[in-house]
Structure 1
Amino acid sequence: MIFDADPWDYLAADEAVDLEHPLVQATASTLRVGDDLAYAQAAFEYVRDEIEHSMDVQDPRVTWRASDVLDQGVGLCFAQAHALVALLRAGGIQAGFCYQPFDVLHGLVATLIDDRWVRLDPRGKDVEFSAAEDRLAFPGTPVHPTVYAAPHPAVLTALKSHTNALALCEEGLPTPNAL
C-alpha cells in the first residue's frame, strides 16, 4: 500500500469525516466495547449492517458527510466508507480511503489493526470482518494501491454536486482516470 499523507492524518477530521460531530461520537461510544480489535469489528459491522447502499434500496438521497450517513442510514459506497472511517478515527484507529477501479470507482476503507493495514468493504452485506486480510465486496478486482487520508476530491465533487444518488450512479460517478 502507498500512503498519501503522514500517519497522524489518518486520524484527522475533515469535511466528510466529521468525527467530532455528536452523532459520530455517540455512535462510536455505543460501539466502543473491548479493545481496538473488538471496536474495529463493531464499527465495520455497524456500517455494513445498518447503512443501506442507495442503489440496493433505490433511495435517491445523497449523503456524503459521515454524520449525515449515520443519521439517514443510507449512502453510496463512498458515503459508507466516510462513515466507517469517521467511526474508526473517533475510536482512535487510523483509517483511510481506498478505491477499486471498475468502469467507475468503488469506495472502501483501509485501517490499521494490530499493526497491519487491511482493506475492509462495508458495501458487501456478506463480507466478514478480518484483522488479518483484506475483505472486499468485489474480491476479483485489484484495489488501487493508494490509501488516501481524505476522500478523493473527485468523489467529493460528484457527491456534493448531485441531489439524486440514483441519477449520480447513472451519469456521474468518478472513473478510474480521476485517480
Structure 2
Amino acid sequence: MQAYLVASPYIDFDHPRVAAQARALAQGLAGASSTLQLVQRCFEFVRDEIRHSGDFKLNPVTCKASDVLLHQTGYCYAKSHLLAALLRANGVPAGLCYQRLSVGDGGAPYCLHGLNAVHLPEFGWYRVDARGNKPGVHAQFTPPREALAFALQDAQERDLPEIWAEPLPLVIQALQAHDDVGAVGRNLPDLPLLP
C-alpha cells in the first residue's frame, strides 16, 4: 500500500496549498467510521468545485495536483491527480485508473479517461470518478456499488484493470505538450488494444 500513500511530482500533497485543503476537508472527522465521510468529502470537492477543463473551456492546462487546486480546473486526468493527493494527504491509499472510451460515443477515435481507486477498509479497492457531472454524467460515491461517469458501450471500450500509483507517462505527455485545453481535447491520449 505504501506506493499509494506517497507524494510525487504530480500527486504533490506535500505542497502547502494541497496539504491545507486536505486538512480542511478532514476537519471535524475522527474515528474509523469517518473514513467513508472523508473520502466522500474529498471526492465531492474535486467533482463539484474543480471545473472540468474541457467542459468549461478553461485554461491553463493543469497536471500537478497543486496547479489543479490553484486554478480550480483540470481535465479528468488532472482532477484524478488532485483527488489522489487529497486522499493520500489524509492517509487514505489512492491510485489512478483509466478507461478506454469512444471520444464521440460512436466508435473511433478512442481516448483514455482518468479516474481513481481508493482503498476503503470496509470494501477494499473502490473506483470513483470525479470528472464532474453534467447532463448525461452522474458520478456518485455509493460504495460498494460503483457509480462512474461513463459506462462501456462499445466493443473497443475497456475498463483497464490496473490501479496505478503514478500517472501513465502518455497522460503526462498529453497534458504537458499543449498549453491550450482545446489542443489537449484534439490530442487525447489512447492505448490501442492488443489483437
More deviation, 46-55/33-42? 33-42
Larger Rg: 2
CA distance in structure 2 between the partners assigned to 1:26 and 1:153 by the alignment: 28
Structure 2 counterpart of 1:136, from 148, 158, 161: 148
CA distance in structure 2 between the partners assigned to 1:17 and 1:81 by the alignment: 9
Counting aligned pairs with the same residue, the percent is: 41
Matches within 5 A, 1:86-125: 86-102=85-101, 103-115=110-122, 116-125=124-133
Match of 1:65 in 2: 64
Are 1:79 and 2:73 counterparts?
A: no
CA distance in structure 2 between the partners assigned to 1:13 and 1:101 by the alignment: 26
Pairwise CA distance, 1:123: 1.1
* TM-score normalised over the length of structure 2: 0.84
4+ runs of 1 displaced by more than 3 Å?
Answer: none
Asked which structure has the greater RCO (Cα within 8 Å, sep 6+), the reply is: 1
Deviations 1:147-174 (A, max 9, x none): 100001110111112111211111x211
Are 1:17 and 2:25 counterparts?
A: no
Letter aligned with residue 111 of structure 2: V
Deviations 1:104-156 (A, max 9, x none): 10000001012411100001423211231222100235410001000011101
Letter aligned with residue 176 of structure 1: L
* Structure 2 unaligned residues grouped into runs of 5+: 102-109
Pairwise CA distance, 1:76: 0.3
* Structure 1 unaligned residues grouped into runs of 5+: 1-6
CA distance in structure 2 between the partners assigned to 1:93 and 1:135 by the alignment: 20
Match of 2:169 in 1: 153
Q: How large is the Cα RMSD of the aligned pairs?
A: 1.6
Are 1:165 and 2:159 counterparts?
A: no
> For the Cα contact (< 8 Å) 1:97–1:149, is it kept in 2?
yes
Aligned length: 172
